Amino acid sequence: MSHVAARKVDANLKGALMEARIVNTQPIRDLSKGARRALAESGLWLRIGFIGASGVAAGILQLLGGEVKPISALALAVGGGVLATLCWRRAGALLESADKLTSIAPSTGRDHALAGA
């Protein structure tokens, strides 16, 4: 009869990896009201675009499954593709406008000096 000895697992979670600090070297962005609104709108367009992409997947699955008429499955896939493309392009344009509206605010004295102010 074989006997497998249980090993003690060292669960010491203190060490260099657990105590490493994450340093954010990126400056803090000061979002204006227009930039916040553009970000919220782009999020909405991205969600609608995801619905369109889901329509593409559903249309292809229906087309391959043969459950419905091929023309309706094809219409769902093409319509979803058009919706996804238009929504994602609109979201991208809004993100570009939000990036133009966003200013960089220095977060430390060093960043303030580097910004030239």
pLDDT band at 72 (very low <50, low <70, confident <90, very high): very high
Q: Where are the beta strands (DSSP E) in the chain?
A: 28-30, 103-105
Q: Please state at what angle helix 70-101 crosses helix 33-65, rounded to 10 degrees.
A: 160
Residue with structure tokens 């593409």? 56
Q: Identify whether the C-beta of residue 95 lies closer than 8 Å to the C-beta of residue 54.
A: no
Is the pLDDT at 58 greater than 90? The verdict is yes
pTM: 0.60
CA atoms within 13 Å, Cβ hemisphere of 54: 6
